[in-house]
Structure 1
Amino acid sequence: MNETRTTGRTADARPSTGIGRARGWARLALLLVAGCAAVVAAGAGSGGWLVLLIGFAGLAVAGAGVWWVLARRGGARLLGGLLAVAAPVAVLVLYAASGLWVVAVGALALWAAALASARTSLRILRRPRGMHTRRSPRPRRPVLIMNVRSGGGKVERFGLVARAEQLGARVVLLGQDTYVDPATVARQAVADGADLLGVAGGDGTQALVAAVAAEHGIPFLVIAAGTRNHFAMDLGLDRTDPVRSLDALTDGVELRVDLGEVSGRAFVNTVSFGAYAEIVQSPEYRDSKAATALEHLPELLAGDGGATLDVRADDARVHAPQALLVSNNAYARADPLGGGRRPRLDAGLLGVIGVRVDSAAQAAELALLGERASGITSLTSLRVVVEADRDTIPVAIDGEAVELPTPVVCSVRAGVLRVRVPRHRPGAAYAPPTVDWRRIVRLALGHPDPRTLKDSYDV
């Protein structure tokens, strides 16, 4: 995670060296693609050309089955579930029975190797350098706010209170008998002289206290004691051992990161609109997420159970997405089936992902093409305005369900949050770039496009 800056001759040499290595990997990727085609062609006499067609068809049918599971009830949902499971199994059985499995395994292995080589090529050009860190003095009066219920009781399980107090921090506990507003606690701590605010809790609590820290210009410390800890992950913290987050108190460095804002409320990760935001409003969602989603999705996907959204992201428009995700900095990939992470938290831009799938055919396309499917809109923006055919709409802010009046305005406050992190931390997991074969071909031929050169060492 820590950035190492280079200057002079070494820094000037890096791009050309990197492009040379990337070109080699791009050429290997094309050779592997050719090998994949050769394997399929060699098996053509026994139906080898059917290998890819059957595999793609099975994936498409499985995608359509998933759509019916989500968008239908009764017999159609049952049929969809059977298709989603049976289609891939049927493809494997057919390969085995016809003797095509050798061709299929060989072709898939070569294709996987080609994708890995192509991603390595792009990764070299877009090598994540990490967010810039700077030294800062050790806090004298740190105050840490800990939610004892977050993450299934991680505060108590990992002994965070005792460890924090050993390191000189004052601890305020939340989640006990009555609800206490974290922002109110944070403001009182600042008034009492706190020179650092920290949170052991979920991302929603993190955002509330982070806003207070940003308002007063004091450092903010993240303790990965929530359930998912997306913010902690993208900061490169160790999510398996929240005690290590406390190392920042004695041996820490500082990052300047952005803070999202939606209708005057801060968020550190995402703001969701549409289907997900509607579902999390349900009181049953916390205890039964899958069943609640399946109960509400058919109406939401058909447009009968939720508001119709109209989205303006700077000069771009996204009309009537079924689901909309606005993130504090963009995710590396927009594939809703693949998850993801944010390579940076200091780019000063919102990420916008809109999803609209209206039929089984579009669901099949999504299964085949992922984030390149026509139902996926992915872009970045400084400001996002969400309008609707209702006066108020449900919104999920860092996973917390709220209702906001329309229009809902999302923006980003660049570099306003000083985050103190341990000097030594695992770093965020690498997010492989989406493979653009046109760029790979141009790079292999020695003609990288201007976008490739601009992206080099710029992440």
Structure 2
Amino acid sequence: MTDGPRPTAAVAPHAAGPYSLLRWARSRDRALAERSAGLHAPNVDTAMRTLSRAADHGVLWWGVAGGVALFGTQARRGAVRGLVATALTSAVANGLLKPVFPRRRPPARIWRNPRRGVRMPTSSSFPSGHAASAAAFATGVALESPLAGAVVAPLAAAVAYSRVHNGVHWPSDVAVGAAVGAGIAIGTRRWWAVRSDDPAELGPQRDVPALPDGAGLLVLDNSGAGTASEIMERVRSLLPAATVVDLGGDEPFGQQFDAAIRRERPQAIGVCGGDGTVAAAAAAAVRHDLPLAVFAGGTLNHFARDAGATNVTDVAEAVTAGTALAVDLAEVRAAEHPERDENGNEQRLFVNTASLGGYPDAVRLRQRWEPRLGKWTAAALAMARVLRTAEPLHVTIDGRPTACWMLFVGNGRYSPGDQVPMNRPAMSGGVLDLRYLRADRRLSRTRLLGAALTGTLGTSRVYERNLVPAVAVTVAGPSVALATDGEADGDATAFEFRSCPRSLTVYRALPG
């Protein structure tokens, strides 16, 4: 007598081998798809259909990017990164993964609501290109602007789900597609660093006069700079006792600064303008041994951002309280004019960068395109254009002959070290960040662009980077243009660069 068939114990998918695991995954896929198909919500059906169609060919994300870009610099950078990540993801998902991993679409259904569903695509179901693009865009935005990414994420999730809701993808297609898109977006950081908006590390605290209501502060206003007019309204409101002098005319700013300081005899000076104006004010502050308050009134405000002076209220409070930190500057001397610059001053100081060769042209192009494209994209396109037409610059760097396409000298340490410089983590330590692109290697331009696109500049033999306290550069041949802080400063054939540690005192709230 037999006991009859014994019941079969449930076996975990992983315990029964890969084929059972695959069968289990497919059954779950089908169950989730059927559960979605069983939902009866006409309004949701219409929304999912409309949303899915809007995302065809990435059209939706171009529109969203335009809206996101309106909400500040970080969001604008995120929009550009999101679109770049979307383009790369679309190429990988549709051009590579779908042909390699063919999969049938879910079987056609008779929907209770005729508005539900979209036309069934003929391509492979795996992975979902819509989900991949949605995740790539949302992740790219979030890398630059977490707040904007949080706003975009629900829309991206809705687009991804719409492909299951509309019956054109299995849930696993969507899950894998989203993972691919997010992974590619995160991978863009390897060759396009995420710029940090944290201020740089500055020097030690300095004793400076506290100026209640700005009494004793002379503010030099370049009203022609980006947002100077708007910023100066707030400065006047926060520091009503400050003396304001408008800059203008054909006289160099350095001479105007000197004349105003001699006339007003202030305890400190302030400046409202862009990086070029700030550089002139910094040089004047050093000449007259005065602390400097920086009010970011330019378009890009690189120095103000790195010095932690982008918030007008914070700077005004530092002036009132008398808190300040030391900052490194850098100096360049040209052999043709070793004793004086065009303003009649013995030093030519710069607060951000100096450059030779094609770099000044690349910087100008990058600054023109940066507000629309973001810094990295603009920098890459500008570099490509300049390299296409540039002639090699034959130079001797600290006694070593070489040829380069362009040469960059940064005041302080810039980051990343193996990519296009994006941030400045430190304006202290007495170092210059020297970088140049070598032209004395075979196929150097092609190798440079390839290394930049693959994130391998740091290991490329055509990219040199050193942190040095000083460097001497001699050019073989005719004079070349020198640019400091984005401004052309004249031509020469020999240049001496050196760091000036702790030479400037800047009003700023104390760290922590």
Q: TM-score category by the smaller chain?
A: 0.5 to 0.7
* Distance in 2 of aligned mates of 1:111 and 1:246: 43
Letter in 2 for 1:91: V
* Distance in 1 of aligned mates of 2:450 and 2:370: 31
Count how many residue pairs are aligned between Structure 1 and Structure 2: 322
Displacement after TM superposition at 1:423 (Å): 4.4
| 1:215-259 deviation line (CA, Å, top 9, x unaligned) | 222111111111111111111223xx4454333221241111111
With over 3 angstroms needed to count, the CA separation of the structure-2 counterparts of 1:174 and 1:287, relative to structure 1, is farther
SS in 1 for 2:504: strand
* Distance in 2 of aligned mates of 1:340 and 1:361: 21
CA contact (8 A) 1:272 1:396 kept: yes
Instruction: Provide structure 1 residue ranges, at least 5 long, that are not aligned to the other structure.
Output: 1-41, 44-83, 117-127, 428-459
With over 3 angstroms needed to count, the CA separation of the structure-2 counterparts of 1:311 and 1:243, relative to structure 1, is farther
SS in 2 for 1:322: strand
* Distance in 2 of aligned mates of 1:164 and 1:232: 18
| 1:390-421 deviation line (CA, Å, top 9, x unaligned) | 33211221001232311011111111111112
Match of 1:319 in 2: 402
* Distance in 2 of aligned mates of 1:180 and 1:286: 29
Match of 1:162 in 2: 236
Match of 1:308 in 2: 393
Counterpart selection for 2:247 from 167, 174, 180? 174
Match of 1:248 in 2: 318
* Distance in 2 of aligned mates of 1:204 and 1:325: 17
* Distance in 2 of aligned mates of 1:242 and 1:410: 32
Per the normalisation by structure 1, the TM-score is 0.59
SS in 2 for 1:188: helix
* Distance in 2 of aligned mates of 1:137 and 1:346: 22
Displacement after TM superposition at 1:89 (Å): 3.5
CA contact (8 A) 1:158 1:243 kept: no
Letter in 2 for 1:231: F
* Distance in 2 of aligned mates of 1:312 and 1:322: 14
CA contact (8 A) 1:394 1:402 kept: yes
Match of 1:91 in 2: 92
Displacement after TM superposition at 1:186 (Å): 2.1
CA contact (8 A) 2:272 2:294 kept: yes
Report which of the two structures shows the higher radius of gyration computed on alpha carbons: 2
Counting aligned pairs with the same residue, the percent is 27
Letter in 2 for 1:92: A
With over 3 angstroms needed to count, the CA separation of the structure-2 counterparts of 1:307 and 1:408, relative to structure 1, is farther
Q: How does 1:137-152 map to 2 (within 5 A)?
A: 137-139=209-211, 140-151=215-226
With over 3 angstroms needed to count, the CA separation of the structure-2 counterparts of 1:389 and 1:104, relative to structure 1, is farther
* Distance in 1 of aligned mates of 2:414 and 2:90: 32
* Distance in 2 of aligned mates of 1:355 and 1:380: 15
CA contact (8 A) 2:415 2:425 kept: yes
CA contact (8 A) 1:309 1:386 kept: no
Identify the structure with bigger relative contact order (alpha carbons < 8 Å, sequence gap 6+): 1
Displacement after TM superposition at 1:180 (Å): 3.4
With over 3 angstroms needed to count, the CA separation of the structure-2 counterparts of 1:215 and 1:361, relative to structure 1, is closer
Instruction: Provide structure 2 residue ranges, at least 5 long, that are not aligned to the other structure.
Output: 1-20, 23-84, 102-125, 128-174, 190-199, 334-346
Per the normalisation by structure 2, the TM-score is 0.54
Match of 1:38 in 2: none
Match of 1:417 in 2: 504
With over 3 angstroms needed to count, the CA separation of the structure-2 counterparts of 1:378 and 1:113, relative to structure 1, is same
The root-mean-square deviation of aligned C-alpha atoms, in Å, is 4.2
SS in 2 for 1:380: strand
* Distance in 2 of aligned mates of 1:327 and 1:405: 19
| 1:370-403 deviation line (CA, Å, top 9, x unaligned) | 4424132111112122222333211221001232
Letter in 1 for 2:409: V
* Distance in 1 of aligned mates of 2:463 and 2:417: 8
Displacement after TM superposition at 1:135 (Å): 4.7
